[in-house]
Amino acid sequence: MGLTKFVREVMRAPHYRLRPAAALRYAYAKWVFHRFRQNDPRAFLENIGIDVNLALDGFERWRPQLERVISVVQNAKDGQGSISLEDGKILYGMTRALQPEYVIETGVAAGVSTCFFAAALMENRRGTLFSIELPPAGNHLRHNDGSVYSWQENGVGWAIPEGIKRSLGYRHRLILRDVRRALPEVLRTLPYVDIFFHDDLHTPDHMLWEYEFVWPRLRPGGVLVSDDVNHGWIQFCANHRWNGTAFHNLNRLCALRKPSRSAGESHRESRAVGVAG
């Protein structure tokens, strides 16, 4: 972690610039996740007990289209909020292997992560994706986490191909509301959640709220995934007494799989891992 880069990140993020203690916790989190970096998505899938061959079944058929989506977004203006192919491969693999009925993502932006979820759900021929996004009131506004986005110029999910939209159809629910109102409402309509992916506002307090709110509703064997983890993830893990394997990551994308055993049995046996590309 370069000191100059870290100072720039802190100074452009109101959450950290105005809170020296939060900035110190951010520095600590960056150091922790640097120590636990990983670089192999396939190993990640195996580490959480997922058969890689099953998880990546059908992926090569989708790869050209998904790579085009990423390329289009990367060649657009800065501030599109994209994920990498490796990130997407993990999201696809989880979804393909776990055969979820209910997937929720917070943060849609141009729609790259949505495309990977959609591809796996179409391969599965089952499951619904709920995507929550609140478009900013204006373009190029600096958010509390320091991010500045321009994707809203073309609209939420602008990079999602029309073929994917048509094929997924009613199985994709795009909700354009504040997540703090929309997420509780969505969860009230569902019996459980199979996969939850955080990728909206990356401030520790907001992220911790999402993790804690969703975790009790995540089914046994389900997965909590988060991009850009920070001290909010560390606090969540401390709250639930997860060990250091919960910090495994690549570029600070982490995941925890909820124990499949009964609630009365120790959750220390749960596997936890993280990855990003």
| H or E element that contains 198 | strand 193-198
What does residue 190 show for φ and ψ, rounded to 5 degrees?
Answer: -110, 145
- pLDDT tens digits, 123-137: 999 999 999 998 766
The label of the residue with tokens 């909206």 reads 200
When pLDDT is averaged across residues 112-133 and rounded to a whole number, the result is 98
C-beta of residue 227 within 8 angstroms of C-beta of residue 199 = yes
In total, the chain counts a number of residues equal to 277
Q: How many domains does the chain have?
A: 1
Count of CB atoms situated within 10 Å of the CB of 125:
8
- Cβ neighbors of 47 (< 8 A, separation 6 or more) are 248, 271, 273
**Full domain range(s) for residue 52:** 3-274
The mean pLDDT of the chain is 88
Min mean pLDDT across 100-104, 130-134, 149-153 is at 149-153
Full-model pTM: 0.91
| H or E element that contains 94 | helix 85-98
C-beta of residue 9 within 8 angstroms of C-beta of residue 16 = yes
Count of CB atoms situated within 10 Å of the CB of 178:
12
Return the structure tokens found at 73: 């977004």
When pLDDT is averaged across residues 201-220 and rounded to a whole number, the result is 97
Min mean pLDDT across 25-29, 49-53, 115-119, 147-151 is at 147-151
C-beta of residue 216 within 8 angstroms of C-beta of residue 210 = no
Q: How far apart are CA 162 and CA 166, in angstroms?
A: 6
Count of CB atoms situated within 10 Å of the CB of 124:
17
Per-residue pLDDT band at 50 (split at 50, 70, 90): confident
- Supply the angle between the helices 20-35 and 231-239 in degrees, to the nearest 10: 80
Rg (CA), the chain: 18
Q: Report the CATH number that the domain containing residue 144 is assigned in CATH.
A: 3.40.50.150
